[in-house]
């Protein structure tokens, strides 16, 4: 493989530029919060405690349950098994024989403690222990996890401060007494000069003895004590060790010394462990390795030297010697630059997997891997590679995976590694990728070219097995392999005569390709003939381009395609021919300008399950079934799209299409499970719009449609469980003709003052979660509704933001719905009743006065008439 050279000035600019990098890196619910120590050390044969505490917003009920599970060391999370249950003051063992009668309850749920005892800890108990607590109606939170490490008995540090102090004090006092007695004896039997000399020597001896005693008491020897033994594996990681422990078990297979403070590796500390197969020295401070250190470690197959300071050692230009049996070597994160890797790879004949990522290598030389000819997997990502010598990888006949991502490679002009299966060149500065012209069959299956500067479709091997091709986030403007007319003519002369199409097609043979990603480019159009050879293509992503027209015809039917993403283009025209896209299941068309389409393009997709049509300008056609004549039928239906009679369709998103009318029987003959009609302001829904979905629809979103009145009866949708009516203008919910099956209802941001009594009674039977915030609720207008919000089994997920209003002393008072009490409502009711009585009495009094006035007036008239007579 040849890399096109750039001029020195460009190389300098690139070298300077690599020092800068940018790392790019809903529903409100109450969940139980669990806490447990990250790590617990227990001596083998003793009883340890696995602590677990929790916080719950609800009172601890009799239904509260604690579950402890166990995942062995080295296994994945999916292998966890339950070992202990506690509920209703009773505990039950799990099904794992290893823990039978060895896990005992040690907690108190009333104190929110879910701890357990592990009796007679064994080495095979090492692993991850998970604590989960369920306290309905609170939602169970993420399980707390503890790493248990069983260590050799009497190895844990003891709190013996008092003993040490007493011992030191006793020793000092004892030595002082001995000194005094000795001084008296010496003074009696020797001269003054002799006394002074003897006394000085004696004092030095006493000080040395005290120092040794104090050192031995305060700093006991640390041998195997802190290392964890699991069968034939020894884990001495994270212990701040400065040297390799000398007294480890005989015949160990794996030795983990990662994340310590080791600086030098010599024969004295490692040669005694000749049986080790796996040696992990990751993240130490290793600066020196004695040459030939690993020569006698003939069983060593995995060596991890990552994240050390091996660049300091490499400056000496001394080879570490033979790695006779090593098959996996990790040298990542060591600051190595060009030429240094030869010191580690010159004598590694069995090496298969090599990691050099995160170093400072700028060039891959022709002799870099000459001592490691068995290599199959090389990881060179995240370096500063500018240049690859011609033939640098040619001697590696077994090489199948090569990662060159996150480097500074500018162009590959002569790719010839026919044995390679996986090639990652993403996140470089590549402007082109071309394969050498050859009749060889290439084994390449996976090619990642994303996040480069490629302008034209790459020239791929003529005979290939390529299954995965990622060209996303480049600068593609067309799918031609070359740009100018001269380059195109050259391409015709060199490539086309060898194709199976008789030299008339400019498109390459990609008959095994299953995944193609060309998203985030600048492609304006794609000819239908481009897909002619892609008979196996299953996933096609050409989103975020500039495509205006896309069509599929019978010449390139794409009948293996399962996912097609055309989102966020400038699509105005879309057409699918008969007998095309027979297996298409997901179609993404959001963020386009689709307006006037053929009325039935989606009926031609027999396997379609999901249609993502949000953010377009589509109208919905009524079904072929003729409903009774209404005002809706008199509108102009030209340019609409039909969604009826698509039995395979399960998910339909029509949000943000500015749909004004949803006609009757719009989805008749379609088995929709999810329907999103949100963000269509002013949407007018006919009472029969959802007819035909009664037994299928489970999710319905009508969010932000400015709906003032819901015309349709949602209770007729017997499978409906999740309804979103938020951000509308609803002042009431309609009376339903039958019991609904709704489990989650979102009524946020409407004009609801309350819910009618009958509606509350019906909803309470099936409703589990409710959203009611941002409504002008009345606190006491419906006691049953207030009770549902406060005390029923319905969980109001936004209860903290739900407020209501009531009148007090002629002022409107607002408070949280949880703070309203029945006494307040009764007091308000009594005041209201008093006011009503007064008003009624006043009205009655006025009526009586009016009647009396009329009677008096009539009598006066009659009296006047009699006088005149």
Name the strand (E) or helix (H) holding 278. Answer: strand 278-280
Average pLDDT over residues 745-766: 91
CA distance 537 to 542: 13
Tokens of residue 327, six digits: 């098959």
Q: pLDDT band for position 550 (50/70/90)? A: very high
Which residues have C-beta within 8 Å of that of residue 628, sequence separation ≥ 6?
none
State pLDDT tens for residues 68-124: 888 887 777 667 888 888 877 778 787 688 888 899 999 988 888 999 999 988 888
Which of 370-384, 612-626, 815-829 has maximum average pLDDT? 370-384
Count of other CB atoms within 10 angstroms of residue 494? 12
The pLDDT assigned to 204 comes to 39
Q: Is 824 exposed, middle or buried (0-12, 13-18, 19+ CB in 10 A)?
A: middle
Per-residue pLDDT at 499 exceeds 80:
no
- Say if CB 664 and CB 632 are below 8 A apart: yes
By CB neighbour count within 10 A (0-12 exposed, 13-18 middle, 19+ buried), where does 9 fall?
A: exposed
| DSSP secondary structure of 604-646 | G-TT--EEE--SS---BPPPSS-----GGGGS--TT-B--SS-
812: pLDDT confidence band, cut at 50, 70 and 90? confident
Task: Round to whole Å and give the CA distance between 476 and 454.
Answer: 6
Phi-psi region of 446 (alpha: psi -120 to 50; beta: other; left: phi over 0): beta
How far is the first Cα of the chain from the last one, in angstroms, to the nearest whole number? 137
Residue 565's pLDDT band (boundaries 50, 70, 90)? very high
pLDDT score for 54: 87
**70 neighbors 80 (Cβ within 8 angstroms):** yes
Peptide bond into 312 cis (omega under 30): no
Listed in sequence order, the residues at least 6 apart from 434 whose beta carbon sits closer than 8 Å to its beta carbon are 412, 413, 414, 415, 458, 459
For 598-613, what is each residue's pLDDT tens digit? Answer: 878 999 999 999 999 9
Task: Give the confidence band of 838 by pLDDT, cuts at 50, 70, 90.
Answer: confident
Give the residue-averaged pLDDT of 37-54.
Answer: 89
Q: Is the pLDDT of residue 241 over 50?
A: yes
Helix (H) or strand (E) holding 517: strand 515-517
> Whose structure tokens read 């090489």?
399
User: Strand 377-379 vs strand 353-355: parallel, antiparallel, or unpaired?
Assistant: parallel
CA angle 723, 725, 731 (to 5 degrees): 130
> What pTM does this model have?
0.70
Q: What distance lies between CA 153 and its chain's CA centroid?
A: 40
Phi and psi (nearest 5°) for 294? -95, 5
Question: CA 332 to CA 358: how far, in whole Å?
Answer: 6
**Most confident listed range (262-271, 649-658, 853-862):** 649-658
Tell me the three state secondary structure of residue 289: strand
pLDDT the model gives residue 801? 92
pLDDT at residue 658, rounded to an integer: 95
Structure tokens at 262: 């080791």
Residue 442: DSSP 8-state: P
The per-residue pLDDT for 735 is: 78
The pLDDT of residue 223 is above 80: no
Per DSSP, the residues of 103-168 read: EEE--BGGGTB--EEE-S--GGG-EEEEEEEE-TTSBP-PPEEEEEEEE-TT-S----HHHHHHHH
Residue 250: the pLDDT is 85
Say if residues 155 and 224 touch (Cβ distance below 8 Å): yes
Phi and psi at residue 163, in whole multiples of 5°?
Answer: -65, -45
Mean pLDDT score, 221-227: 56
Q: What does the radius of gyration of the chain's CA atoms come to, in whole angstroms?
A: 41
Q: What pLDDT band is residue 210 in, cutting at 50, 70 and 90?
A: very low
d(CA 853, CA 24): 88
Does residue 631 surpass a pLDDT of 50?
no
Whole-number Å distance between alpha carbons of 290 and 283:
19
| Burial of residue 453, with CB atoms counted within 10 A of its CB: 0-12 exposed, 13-18 middle, 19 or more buried | middle
Measure Cα distances from 570 to 23, 189, 524, 528, 542 in Å: 30, 113, 9, 18, 12
Q: In whole angstroms, what is the distance from residue 491 CA to residue 478 CA?
A: 15
Q: Three-state SS across 821-850?
A: CHHHHHHHHHHHHHHHHHHHHHHHHHHHHH
- Out of 220-234, 561-575, 659-673, 837-851, which region has the weakest mean confidence (pLDDT)? 220-234
Cβ within 8 Å of residue 685, ≥6 positions away: 662, 702, 707, 710, 711, 712
CB atoms within 10 A of CB 616: 21
Question: Has residue 780 got a pLDDT over 50?
Answer: yes
- The pLDDT of residue 378: 98
At 506, is the secondary structure helix, strand, or coil? coil
């Amino acid at each position: 493989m040849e890399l096109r050279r750039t001029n020195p000035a460009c190389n300098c600019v690139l070298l300077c530029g690599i020092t800068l990098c940018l790392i790019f890196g809903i529903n409100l619910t109450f969940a139980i919060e669990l806490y447990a120590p990250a790590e617990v050390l227990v001596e083998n044969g003793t009883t340890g405690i696995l602590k677990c505490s929790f916080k719950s917003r609800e009172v601890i009920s009799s239904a509260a349950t604690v579950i402890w599970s166990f995942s062995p060391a080295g296994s994945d999370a999916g292998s966890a098994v339950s070992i202990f249950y506690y509920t209703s003051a009773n505990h039950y063992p799990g099904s794992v024989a290893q823990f039978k009668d060895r896990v005992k309850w040690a907690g108190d749920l009333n104190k929110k403690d879910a701890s357990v005892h592990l009796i007679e800890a064994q080495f095979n108990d090492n692993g991850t222990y998970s604590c989960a607590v369920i306290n309905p109606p609170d939602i169970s939170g993420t399980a707390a996890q503890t790493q248990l490490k069983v260590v050799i008995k009497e190895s844990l540090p003891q709190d013996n401060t008092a003993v040490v102090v007493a011992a030191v004090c006793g020793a000092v006092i004892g030595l002082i007494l001995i000194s005094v007695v000795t001084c008296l004896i010496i003074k009696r039997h020797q001269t003054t000069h002799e006394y002074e000399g003897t006394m000085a020597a004696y004092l030095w001896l006493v000080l040395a003895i005290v120092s040794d005693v104090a050192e031995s008491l305060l700093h006991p020897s640390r041998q195997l004590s802190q290392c964890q033994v699991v069968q034939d594996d020894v884990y001495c990681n994270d212990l701040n060790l400065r040297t390799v422990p000398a007294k480890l078990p005989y015949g160990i297979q794996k030795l983990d010394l990662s994340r310590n403070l080791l600086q030098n590796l010599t024969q004295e500390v490692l040669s005694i462990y000749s049986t080790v197969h796996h040696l992990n020295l990751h993240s130490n401070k290793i600066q020196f390795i004695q040459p030939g250190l690993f020569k006698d470690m003939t069983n060593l197959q995995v060596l991890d030297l990552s994240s050390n300071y091996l660049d300091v050692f490499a400056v000496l230009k001394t080879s570490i010697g033979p790695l006779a049996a090593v098959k996996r070597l990790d040298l990542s994160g060591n600051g190595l630059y060009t030429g240094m890797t030869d010191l580690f790879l010159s004598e590694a004949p069995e090496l298969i997997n090599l990691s050099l990522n995160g170093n400072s290598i700028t060039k891959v030389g022709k002799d870099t891997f000459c001592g490691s000819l068995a290599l199959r997997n090389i990881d060179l990502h995240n370096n500063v590679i500018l240049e690859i010598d011609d033939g640098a990888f040619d001697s590696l006949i077994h090489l199948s995976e090569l990662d060159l991502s996150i480097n500074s490679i500018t162009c590959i002009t002569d790719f010839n590694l026919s044995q390679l299966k996986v090639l990652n060149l993403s996140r470089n500065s590549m402007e082109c990728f071309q394969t050498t012209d050859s009749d060889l069959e290439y084994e390449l299956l996976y090619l990642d070219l994303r996040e480069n500067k490629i302008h034209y479709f790459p020239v791929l091997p003529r005979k290939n097995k390529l299954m995965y091709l990622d060209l996303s986030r480049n600068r593609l403007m067309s799918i031609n392999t070359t740009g100018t007319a001269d380059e195109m003519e050259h391409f015709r002369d060199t490539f086309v005569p060898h194709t199976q199409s008789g030299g008339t097609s400019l498109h390459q043979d990609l008959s095994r390709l299953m995944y193609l990603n060309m998203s985030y480019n600048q492609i304006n159009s794609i000819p239908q003939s481009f897909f002619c050879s892609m008979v196996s293509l299953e996933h096609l992503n050409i989103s975020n381009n500039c495509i205006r027209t896309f069509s599929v015809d019978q010449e390139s039917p794409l009948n293996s395609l399962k996912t097609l993403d055309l989102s966020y283009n400038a699509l105005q025209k879309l057409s699918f021919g008969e007998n095309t896209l027979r297996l298409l299941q997901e179609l993404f068309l959001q963020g386009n300008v689709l307006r006037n389409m053929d009325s039935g393009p989606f009926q031609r997709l027999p396997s379609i399950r999901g249609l993502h049509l949000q953010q377009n300008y589509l109208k919905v056609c009524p079904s072929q079934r003729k409903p009774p004549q209404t005002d809706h039928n008199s509108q102009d239906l030209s340019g609409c799209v039909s969604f009826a009679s698509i039995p395979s369709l399960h998910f339909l998103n029509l949000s943000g299409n500015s749909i004004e009318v949803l006609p009757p029987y719009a989805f008749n003959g379609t088995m929709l499970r999810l329907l999103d009609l949100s963000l269509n302001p002013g949407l007018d829904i006919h009472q029969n719009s959802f007819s035909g979905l009664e037994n299928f629809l489970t999710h319905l979103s009508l969010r932000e449609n400015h709906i003032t009145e819901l015309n349709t009866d949602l209770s007729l949708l017997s499978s409906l469980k999740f309804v979103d009516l938020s951000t509308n203008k609803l002042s009431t919910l309609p009376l339903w003709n039958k019991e609904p099956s709704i489990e989650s209802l979102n009524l946020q941001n409407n004009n609801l003052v309350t819910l009618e009594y009958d509606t509350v009674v019906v909803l309470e039977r099936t409703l589990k979660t409710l959203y009611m915030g941002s409504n002008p609720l009345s606190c006491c207008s419906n006691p049953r509704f207030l009770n549902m919000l406060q005390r029923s089994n319905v969980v109001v997920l936004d209860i903290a933001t739900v407020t209501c209003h009531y009148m007090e002393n002629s002022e409107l008072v607002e408070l949280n719905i949880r703070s309203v009490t029945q006494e307040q409502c009764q007091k308000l009711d009594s005041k209201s009743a008093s006011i009503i009585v007064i008003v009624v009495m006043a009205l009655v009094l006025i009526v009586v006065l009016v009647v009396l006035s009329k009677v008096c007036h009539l009598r006066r008239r009659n009296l006047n008439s009699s006088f005149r007579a």
